[in-house]
Amino acid sequence: MRLRLFSPDPAAGVRPLELEAAPGVPLSQAVWLSGLVPPLPLCGGLGRCGRCRLRFRRAAPPPLPAESAVFTPEELAVGWRLACRHTVPEAGGDLELELPAEDFYAPDAGAGAAAPKAAALSPTGLHAGQLGTSAFAAAAPGSKTAAPGSETAAPGSQVDALPDLVLAVDLGTTSLYWQAVDQEGRTAAQGHGLNPQAGAGADVMSRLAVAREPQGRGILAALVRRELQAVAEGLAVRGVGRIVRLCLAANPAMTAIFLDRDVSGLCAAPYRLDFTGDVVADVPGLPPVYVPPQPAPFVGGDVSAGLAALLERGAPRPFVLADMGTNGEMALLTDTALWLTSVPLGPALEGIGPQCGQQAGPGVVTGFALTPLGLTARLFAEPAAAAPHGAACPCSACAAVGPGTQPEPAARARGISATGYLSLLAVLLRAGLLQSDGRLDPAPAMPLTRRLAAGLEHGRLRLPHGLWLDAGDVEELLKVKAAFALALEALLRAADLPVAGVARLCLAGSLGAHVCLEDLETLGFLPAGLARRTEAVGNTALEGAALLARCPERGAAVARLCCKAHVLALTQQPDFAHDYLRQMRFGG
């Protein structure tokens, strides 16, 4: 069946996009794996995020219960539905769908108004042929880039005459970061955007479900390869440099999909690793790709590259490298041994899944504080308040504040980032509105908190800017806390290392760089006292990938370290279920 995708604003100059899809394909995959529209971080069919919204221009299917929680009755009446809950119908001519304006590339972006037709999708939701253009990086809609001094290409510049560069890539489940550096390590350009595979779902298992079939794996591989080809081509066109080598740091699932290798060993227990990395791979359309060591089924090149970066920095041992992304990988390096583990944290810490969840950006709440005037929200890029940790003030002035004096927000925010949710939960826990078991108390002790609790209705707490906290969101974040805390506890126990013996906890990734460490300790992600020895170390996977791309010989040393690692399978540990339930509480 032919799908025709329309913009809601004909005056925007965006012509309808067309693609072929076979009956039975989930509409979310048919649209957002086509390569014709910008990628979206979808929840993988849970029906919670609402990002895959689209409108049937005619013959809309009956609304489902999950859609009534996302759309108003008026929106449902005019055909708005969730694409993840519907499939391509068996027949009926062209299927005409309207997408929100932000789901189209700009008309001059090269993939939008004049995008080529996509080929047919099979019933597994997979492309059968050529993908649409999805320009990235230097030419890219939707990615943030910086190439100092290279806004335009030098007239008549020849690629062979350009300086040689290496390209470091951190391919995460949610995001793709890249950095082009010269042989001295100087950054020539860098950028990031969503992983274009996000239309298959926000977590690793949803990607693997698509990649189990060779056709699906090929499609997901092509999406990322095209992005990296666009990066390299864009840098050359703009006269920045010529990419001669690439290093891809990614978890084993993302690595196998990128290389178009069989993923069956990662799809079901007992998990096995069929590819250990530390090789240079030939990938069509790209320069030679170095793949860092892949030590375990769910501990991959992003961790080994991160270890290379921390060793280069001279991080004091014993240190723990922890990534608080979708896949919670951890590495403990002592003077004598390396211990590794991983735990699925899910996409909540990427801002995906909670009902008001958004990735950090303009118009997104990144922090909260409880003041004498009530709960206040801090938007992206706004300076922190005087009480950055949101501690509720117990003084008599708070008790004197009348119930009608809380200021109304001037405008609605787009959503709440992961750091915003962690900040909010820490504020509510300190104030007594959130209990340690994750329940919201409708009658807390403090007068200020009681006024805040007045906004609790039907399992939802009203927040500034028209936002809310749902009880289901609290439960999901409590599961994340339990999994992370359990992984850290088990890793230290296996190495017979007390918390006091950890010289440094290195939090990697964007969340680690922006989250308040006191919030993590308050909520129980970190044991008491460890926040003082915790450091946000940035994107160590990207940093390590740049190092390994410039100095391939460093990879052999990391490989020797990884091949002797002790890999801890959490679910196989004695009393795993008991320990997990014990960690299902906020606080220490």
| 504-508, strands of its sheet edge to edge | 534-538, 504-508, 319-323, 327-333, 338-344, 566-568
Neighbours of 558 (CB within 10 A): 25
Sign of torsion over alpha carbons 306, 503, 574, 561: positive
pTM of this structure: 0.84
Residue 352 pairs in a beta bridge with none
**390 Ramachandran zone, left/alpha/beta (phi>0; psi -120 to 50):** left
Alpha-carbon span 441 to 424, nearest angstrom:
15
**Residue 258, CB-side half-sphere exposure with 13 Å CA sphere:** 34
Neighbours of 376 (CB within 10 A): 19
Alpha-carbon span 554 to 541, nearest angstrom:
14
CATH for 137-291 (3.30.420.480, 3.40.190.10, 3.90.650.10, 1.10.340.30): 3.30.420.480
Cβ-in-10-Å burial (0-12, 13-18, 19+) of 320 comes to buried
Count the helix, strand and coil residues of the chain and give each as a percent rounded to the nearest 5: 35, 20, 45
Structure token digits, residue 431: 């104030």
The CATH code for residues 317-347+477-582 is: 3.30.420.40
Mean pLDDT of the chain: 85
Largest interatomic CA distance in the chain: 73
- The kind and range of the H/E element at 120 are none
Crossing angle of the two packed helices 301-313 and 540-550, in degrees rounded to 10: 80
pLDDT at 463: 96
- Please identify every stretch of the chain with a pLDDT value under 70, giving residue numbers as ranges: 12-13, 44-48, 92, 106-157, 382-411
The CATH code for residues 2-103 is: 3.10.20.30
Alpha-carbon span 127 to 121, nearest angstrom:
4
Contact assessment for residue 103 and residue 51, using Cβ atoms and an 8 Å cutoff: no
Before 318, cis peptide (omega within 30)? yes
- Which residues contact residue 389 at a Cβ distance below 8 angstroms, ignoring those fewer than 6 apart? 369, 426, 516, 518, 519, 522
Nearest to 315 by CA among 337, 292, 332, 339: 332
Structure token digits, residue 265: 């060993």
Whether 137-291 and 317-347+477-582 share one fold: the answer is yes
Domain ranges of the chain: 2-103, 137-291, 317-347+477-582, 349-475
Contact assessment for residue 226 and residue 234, using Cβ atoms and an 8 Å cutoff: no
Output DSSP code: residue 296: B
Contact assessment for residue 123 and residue 31, using Cβ atoms and an 8 Å cutoff: no
Q: Report the relative pairing of strands 504-508 and 534-538 from DSSP bridges.
A: parallel
pLDDT at 227: 95
SS3 503: coil
Structure token digits, residue 181: 């550096």
Contact assessment for residue 199 and residue 187, using Cβ atoms and an 8 Å cutoff: no
